[in-house]
Structure 1
Amino acid sequence: MKVQSLRVLVETKVLEEGWMKQRYKQLTLIDEKRASAQYHEQGYQKRIARAFNKKVKPRNLKEGDLVLKVLRNETFDPRGKMKPRWSGLFIIKKIMSGGATRIANLDGEKMLCPFQMDRP
């Protein structure tokens, strides 16, 4: 909404009565503007999700499968060497809802936090 300053109102010689009517009209339309903005945002989020989900490849993993874990930190070494992007073999111990899994290394030591397995 546009709120004019008192100086602008005095210079344009707008009557207070007309200003009040215009202001009331703007305030009554604010709910409609808010609703249209919310519908626009929901549509935008659906379009972004659809575009992102095109790239997601479903993986048919089950408990006992061997997997590699992606290292998401910086892969460049200051000495000019490339660091590995994957971390050694892990066994899937439990698959939870939403694509999260609990993994353990080959010695059977479980990792503390679950990992999301359905990222591209």
Structure 2
Amino acid sequence: MNRAVEAANKNIKKILRKITDSHRQWHEKLPYALIGYRTTARTSTGATPYMLVYGSEVVIPAEVEILSLRIIQDVGLDDAKWICSRHEQLMIIDEEMMDVVCHGQLYQNRMSKAFTKRVRPRKFKLGQLVLKRIFPHQDEAKGKFAPNWQGPYVVHRVISGGALILAEMDGKVSTKPINSDSIKKYYI
């Protein structure tokens, strides 16, 4: 959640830089920047933040001053018609939310494909000598100038999904699988 707030603040600051002439006027332009931010559709969801929170698109001040078809239709309804209209709007909101969820999933798939396109799969064989990364939270991490790798180890078993079971050089087999991202080949 904290990253989302930081990203939103960064985007609002970018908008403010574009619409202010000097740094002293930013507080006067902030409402306009917020309206712009909240009513702009995001690539990841395909919807505006306002629509996701309130379930309908925002009515901008210009639509209130210059009556739009949407405002005219909402004003001229009696109670029964308004209830029917509101029920239809809620059904549309559910459909729009499903569209947003589908759009989000498609976006995640596209981002995943873009990421995995650059990933090199690592292949390890049984009996191969490897080194294991020492992470900062481990007891073996001694400080800034300590080695980053420990070993050598022998690949005892290759598990699907990129995990390995290692054995020490004396034959003692580890019980925990290790992700192959934290392993590299050992060259003699």
TM-score under structure 2 length normalisation = 0.49
1:62 and 2:111 matched: no
RCO higher in 1 or 2 (8 Å CA, sep ≥ 6)? 1
Partner deviation per Cα, 1:10-52 (whole Å, 9 max, x = no partner): xx8x753344123201221133213211221111111221222
Aligned residues: 108
Q: Please, which of 34, 50, 56 is the counterpart of residue 113 of structure 2?
A: 50
Stretches of structure 1 that go unaligned for 5 or more consecutive residues are: 3-11
> Aligned-residue CA RMSD in angstroms?
2.8
Distance 1:39 1:116 in 2: 31
Aligned residue for 1:41, secondary structure, equals: helix
**One-letter code aligned to 2:160:** S
Q: Please, which of 150, 156, 165 is the counterpart of residue 102 of structure 1?
A: 165
Distance 1:23 1:40 in 2: 25
Aligned residue for 1:98, secondary structure, equals: coil
Q: Please, which of 97, 112, 134 is the counterpart of residue 71 of structure 1?
A: 134
- Structure 1 residues 37 and 102, CA, compared in 2 at 3 Å: closer, same or farther? same
- Structure 1 residues 44 and 30, CA, compared in 2 at 3 Å: closer, same or farther? same
Q: Please, which of 84, 90, 104 is the counterpart of residue 41 of structure 1?
A: 104
Stretches of structure 2 that go unaligned for 5 or more consecutive residues are: 1-54, 57-74, 184-188
Q: What pairs up with 1:76-91 in 2 under 5 angstroms?
A: 77=143, 81-91=144-154
Q: Which structure dedicates a bigger proportion of its chain to strand?
A: 1
Q: Which structure dedicates a bigger proportion of its chain to helix?
A: 2
**One-letter code aligned to 1:116:** N
Shift of 1:114: 0.3
Aligned residue for 2:152, secondary structure, equals: strand
Q: What pairs up with 1:23-42 in 2 under 5 angstroms?
A: 23-42=86-105
TM-score under structure 1 length normalisation = 0.71
**One-letter code aligned to 1:103:** L
